[in-house]
Amino acid sequence: QAQLVESGGGLVQAGGSLRLSCTGSGRTFDYLAMGWFRQASGQERTFVAGVTWSGDGIKIADSVIGRFTISRDTYKNTVYLQMDNLKPEDTAVYYCIAGSSLAAVTGSQATYWGQGTQVTVSS
């Protein structure tokens, strides 16, 4: 059974950095786009970042552009989210996703979702 497992969340002060990782298992994630959504308490899930299988296509949400970077290691079935200059408004559960295309990933039509990892940014 295919699954995505996130790691790297935690508590950090504003201005700090965290690196989230997400590894897929149970099937190959070749040719699938991967990315991240987040959901703050009481709010809907929103797109954060996505990357194509080859890495030549990347999309970043306007709210985090310039602070967050997405990358992936196809040999390890792993996608990373480097988060710098974190702000309290970045506090949320971050979900790893995988789908058939970058458009599917950015449009919340991903095939696979992880369980989520909590990121808390204190002021």
Query: What's the CA gap between 33 and 75, in Å, rounded?
Result: 14
Dihedral (CA of 51, 49, 86, 80) sign: negative
pLDDT at 26: 84
Tens of pLDDT along 71-119? 999 889 999 999 999 999 999 999 999 999 999 999 878 889 999 999 9
CA-to-CA separations, 96 to 1, 44, 73, 123, in angstroms, rounded = 16, 15, 14, 25
Distances in Å between the Cα of 85 and the Cα atoms of 9, 33, 65, 70 are: 15, 26, 11, 15
* Per-residue pLDDT tens over the stretch 27-81: 878 889 999 999 999 999 999 999 999 999 999 999 999 999 999 998 899 999 9
Looking at residue 83, its amino acid is M
Residue from 5, 6, 7, 121 nearest 64 by CA: 121
Pairwise CA distance, residues 26 & 29, whole Å: 9
